[in-house]
Amino acid sequence: MERHRSAVGAYDLAAIRSDFPILDQMVHGKPLAYLDNAASAQKPHAVIDSLVALYSHDYANVHRGLHALSSRATDRYEAARETVREHLNAPSEREIVFTKGATEALNLLAACLGQGILRQGDEVIITGLEHHSNIVPWQLLRDRMRIVLKIVPVGDNGDVDPADLRALLTDRTRVVSVAHMSNALGTILPVEEMVADAKAAGAITILDGCQAVSHMKVDVRALGCDAYVFSGHKVYGPTGIGILWAREDLLDRLPPYHGGGEMIRSVTFEKSTWADLPAKFEAGTPPIAGAVGLKAALDYVNGIGMELIARHEASVFDYAVDCLESIEGVSLIGKARRRASILSFVMDVAHPHDIATLVDRQGVAVRAGHHCAQPLMDRFGLPATARASIGLYNSIAEIDQLAEALHRVRRLLA
């Protein structure tokens, strides 16, 4: 990691790629070109080594033990919380809640808001390009307590217009929950303006940062939102770990999500009282190794520099757009004014599932399907798309490999 930090203004792609052992392999006799980062990113040695070290030397349950291993594990777990706080520029560690992932974080917010704040007839607004994890929890709440769910439309180019949000805001709007960046199109939403408009209407604002956190610097104070969620595995960390950041006053107002050990102050058969934040929302044995691995992942990307990562990815992305647009029969879906990393596309000669299967034979890993965004696919009249998504280790050569694989698909099926 030191070699990246010392190379100010430079981007040592070869050195970065060497940090990811999984990239050094052949698939079907071809060099692996991993372009499925929006689904899950690969892990550097720093993350893998942190997990091995924890399980080899420091593992025990956290917080409740008085012995040396528990103390060391607790120190590493809480150090991860501070690293997340710094990464998001959050005001307090008390506002950082460890979850299983962004899906659990969004379910937590929806369920707890439903118990503690929302009432029948209140309105929740989302957009038409949300991941299912920012749709289904609100539908469950709607069906249970008869709130009103409103949808901000998506334009033909994949943009979301803040004016369309403003048109939906009323004095019954209680929550506005939107993606920071679309997982299916790569659209970067104008969240600063949307958050400001929603807060002016008195709404609680939630941002799904699963895609954005891997590609740009995130500052929750500058964004002005009330809550921000993301998953560790998309930012080069382990699976099974996610982050809910929310303002301390909001977390104080919400009831607990799960009951059990660690989240209580006292328990009798008559009554239980809750622990201070963030333990109130971390019932049971937490994702200790996940938190430790996430700290290593955030240290890694910050050691390179989020600005340098964004600059590198933008150059690869721009090249990829030009490449794919030059291939006969390939159509990119979504050309928003601000977008990054993700290219969603279709071909006139092949179903997206066939595209993914055939390019895999050339060593190229892409995803095909509805990308947990079925309403967005319906908006564009598509059952699915193929999706190539760029990470910090991807290269121009890998885009050429994808392009050649798509040419082969056309030659085979046309």
> Can you tell me the distance from the alpha carbon of 47 to that of 35, in angstroms, rounded to the nearest whole number?
20
Beta strands 330-332; 342-347: pairing state = antiparallel
Give SS3 for 385: strand
Q: Which two tokens stand for residue 76?
A: 């590493």
Give SS3 for 281: helix
The radius of gyration of the chain from alpha carbons, rounded to an integer in Å, stands at 22
Q: Tokens 């082969």 sit at which residue?
A: 408
Q: Is the peptide bond before 137 cis (omega within 30 degrees of 0)?
A: no
DSSP letters of 177-202? EEESB-TTT-BB--HHHHHHHHHHTT
Active site residue 372: yes
Q: Among 210, 225, 323, 372, which one carries the catalytic annotation?
A: 372
> Can you tell me the distance from the alpha carbon of 111 to that of 129, in angstroms, rounded to the nearest whole number?
22
Q: Tokens 């601000």 sit at which residue?
A: 338
> Can you tell me the distance from the alpha carbon of 294 to that of 54, in angstroms, rounded to the nearest whole number?
13
> 205 and 199 in contact (C-beta within 8 Å)?
yes
Residue 348, CA atoms < 13 Å, CB-side half-sphere: 7
Contacts of 154 (CB under 8 A, 6+ apart): 127, 128, 129, 160, 376, 379
How many other CB atoms are there within 10 angstroms of residue 121's CB atom? 11
- What are the strands, taking DSSP E only, across 211-309? 227-231, 242-246, 264-267, 272-274
> Can you tell me the distance from the alpha carbon of 230 to that of 90, in angstroms, rounded to the nearest whole number?
14
Q: Which two tokens stand for residue 135?
A: 């749709």
Q: Tell me which residues are annotated as active site.
A: 372
